[in-house]
Amino acid sequence: MKFVSILLITLLLTMTAVAAVANTESATTDLTKKNFKKHCASCHGEDRLGIVGPPLIPQSFKRLKAKAATLVIKNGRVATQMPAFGKTLSDMQISDLVDYIYTKPTHSPEWDMNAIKQSHKISHAPESLGNTPVFKADMQNLFLVVEIGDHHVTLLNGDSFEPIYRLKTHNALHGGPKYSKDGRYVFFASRDGWITKFDIYNLKVIADIRVGINTRNLAVSDDGKFIIAGNTLPHTAVILSAHDLSPIKLIPVVNEAGESSRVSAVYTAAPRQSFILALKDFPEVWEIPYVEKEIFVHDYRYEMPEYTGKPFSIRRIKLSNYLDDFFFNQDYTHIIGAARPEGERFPQGGQVIKISSGRKVSNIDLPGMPHLSSGISWKYKDTRIIATPNIKKGIVSIIDTKDWKTIKKIKTKGPGFFMRSHEKSPYAWVDVFFGPHKDLVHIIDKQTLEIVKTLQPVPGKTAAHVEFTKDGRYALLSIWEDDGAVIVYDALTLKEVTRLPMKKPSGKYNVYNKTHLEEGTSH
């Protein structure tokens, strides 16, 4: 009997040890690692910590179950650069890759305050540079064009459309660069965690710092003093001084149960003098005040306690669903958000949250996958509407902000990514980024809510992302290809004015429109 027990215990221990080995990186076969290197590493990194694609380690898969991951590898993923491997790899090879990406890496990826401080480099102290621009132009009508083809940013004169300067950047900038309120400085975030401050007046980099291994985006406080960057790896947010990017605070993104989350986006809510963080792995939104005064949150209807937050403290707004993507109404009183289906237990759908009370005030009928961070708003009849493209369905949803009802779904030639307008323009522009009609751009009449024209700037080439000049007279459109271009259109006649060759231009950002929170552009 004693012998049988010893045998059983030995067997159990052996099984546990085998299971532990199977769950380590060294247990992954060379063939699977070879397949990873061949098919995945160029976007996700040989170390699986992400480059243009997200990290592929267990910390990144809180909501994505292995079954869903298998389908992503097989069929690709909408709204990303992820292709389908169903025809290149066998089911067994895909299953081995799924096992591999759910295996913890040998070295746990850390990026603590020490690493952040070590990476900080000041190239030019702000005080050492002059206060007069070194070139002549309307400083409010400048554009920055992000060229992801060769990792540069072009500074463009918004009157003459002449390039002024071309800056080499860190790899894979993502999200809009953010200007200081006076438009002199601009801050960039790269997917691999680098934040850069650039002085437009002097055409000089002020400083760089690496805040994480994989970063989502950044926001600048309205008083121009602070930067916040949200990371997907590690699960942190980092506060920096906007002066020279010195690190101020590392905030672990953890809920009350001790679980951590990726940050899906950070934004500045200027009227509230706070940053708003949306989280990917638990249904909360965080408000982080950045001022030396207390923020009071009170809503008599809900008998909410007053929140007396100090700078960089966390106000947790608990939600009934995730917020993967959201935007604010024009006066920043409400968040309009939506969850993305990732095989998780929460349903997909839109919701409106009143920030002061932290309560959901409405659901919104938003089918497919609305791209709310690209939503815009304008006055329509006696109300204000918001419009959002959809990355899964060929529709633009039009929502009345009076009662949050969808008043129209405008049918398009396919799913789109970016939507833009300008207060002075009668038209809203939306691309058809996905599918066979990616070379088309629809022009929507803002008062009839009808598509009045469809442009095909370069047949067969992706046309996407529009930004207007300061006065709304011209619209600049990207031909999103390695040998691409920015095409300038007269925003009224819709005729081409000029075209500038660029290397896969993605977003374009006009100083005035961004710093004045123009209603037709993202903030």
Give the binding site for ligand DHE (CB under 6 A): 52, 79-81, 148, 174-176, 217, 265, 373, 417, 465, 506-507, 522
Nearest distance in Å: CB 4, ligand DHE: 55
State the minimum distance, in angstroms, from the CB of residue 162 to ligand DHE: 22
Element (H, E) at 33: helix 30-39
Q: For residue 59, give the DSSP letter.
A: G
User: Considering the complex, what minimum distance in angstroms separates the CB of residue 97 from ligand DHE?
Assistant: 19
Q: Which residues contact 327 (CB under 8 A, 6 or more apart)?
A: 335, 336, 372, 373, 375, 386, 388, 522, 523
Specify the residue, 194 or 417, whose C-beta has the smaller distance to ligand DHE: 417
We find the least distance from the C-beta atom of residue 172 to ligand DHE, in angstroms, to be 7
Least spacing, CB of residue 80 vs ligand DHE, in Å: 5
Residue 17 DSSP SS3: helix
Cα dist from 317 to 15, 24, 213, 219, 355, whole Å:
44, 37, 27, 19, 8
- Closest residue to ligand DHE in the complex (CB): 175
Question: Which is nearer to ligand DHE, 193 or 202 (by Cβ)?
Answer: 193
d(CA 237, CA 219): 11
Is the Cβ of residue 173 or residue 250 nearer to ligand DHE in the bound state?
173
The Cα 240–Cα 119 span in angstroms is 13
Closer CB to ligand DHE, 265 or 440, in the complex: 265
Our CB check for ligand DHE shows the closer of 79 and 270 to be: 79
Strands 474-479 and 463-468: antiparallel
* Residue 381 structure tokens: 């009849």
The greatest distance separating any two alpha carbons of the chain, rounded to the nearest whole angstrom, comes to: 93
**Minimum distance from residue 81 beta carbon to ligand DHE (Å):** 5
State the minimum distance, in angstroms, from the CB of residue 267 to ligand DHE: 7
Distance of CA 93 to the CA centre of its chain: 31
Q: Which is nearer to ligand DHE, 274 or 356 (CB)?
A: 274
Give, in order, the Cα–Cα distances in Å from 114 to each of 214, 247, 250, 498: 17, 10, 10, 49
Taking the least distance from each CB to ligand DHE, the nearer of 264 and 356 is 264
The nearer residue to ligand DHE, 96 or 344, going by C-beta atoms, is: 344
Measured from the CB atom, the residue of 307 and 326 that comes closer to ligand DHE is 326
| Whole-number Å distance between alpha carbons of 385 and 336 | 12
Q: Closest CB to ligand DHE among 35 and 373?
A: 373
State which residue, 407 or 458, has the beta carbon closest to ligand DHE.
458
Minimal distance, residue 113 CB to ligand DHE, in Å: 23
How big is the CA angle at 341 (ends 336 and 344), to the nearest 5 degrees?
115
- Extract the tokens encoding 186: 């601009």
Residue 12 Cβ, how far from ligand DHE at the closest point, in Å? 43
What secondary structure does DSSP assign to 233-247, as a single string? ESSEEEEEETTT--E
Alpha-carbon span 513 to 260, nearest angstrom: 36
- Cβ neighbours of residue 333 under 8 Å, at least 6 residues apart? 354, 355, 356
Least distance (Å) from ligand DHE to the CB of residue 296?
Answer: 27
**8 A C-beta contact, residue 309 and residue 287:** yes
Q: Kindly state the tokens that stand for 161.
A: 């459309």
Enumerate residues 6+ apart whose C-beta is below 8 A from 514.
176, 178, 179, 521, 523
Neighbours of 189 (CB within 10 A): 29
Identify which of residues 231 and 506 has a Cβ nearer to ligand DHE in the complex: 506
Shortest separation between residue 357's beta carbon and ligand DHE, angstroms: 24
438 versus 465: smaller Cβ distance to ligand DHE: 465
Nearer to ligand DHE, 65 or 174 (CB): 174
- Minimum CB separation of residue 87 from ligand DHE in Å reads 22
301 three-class SS? coil
Distances from the Cα of 377 to the Cαs of 70, 296, 328, 365, 380, in angstroms? 38, 28, 10, 17, 9
Which of 241, 155, 138, 259 lies closest to 197 in space, CA to CA?
241
First to last CA, the chain: 73
* Residue 339 C-beta: closest distance to ligand DHE, Å: 12
CB of 371 vs ligand DHE, minimal distance in Å: 8
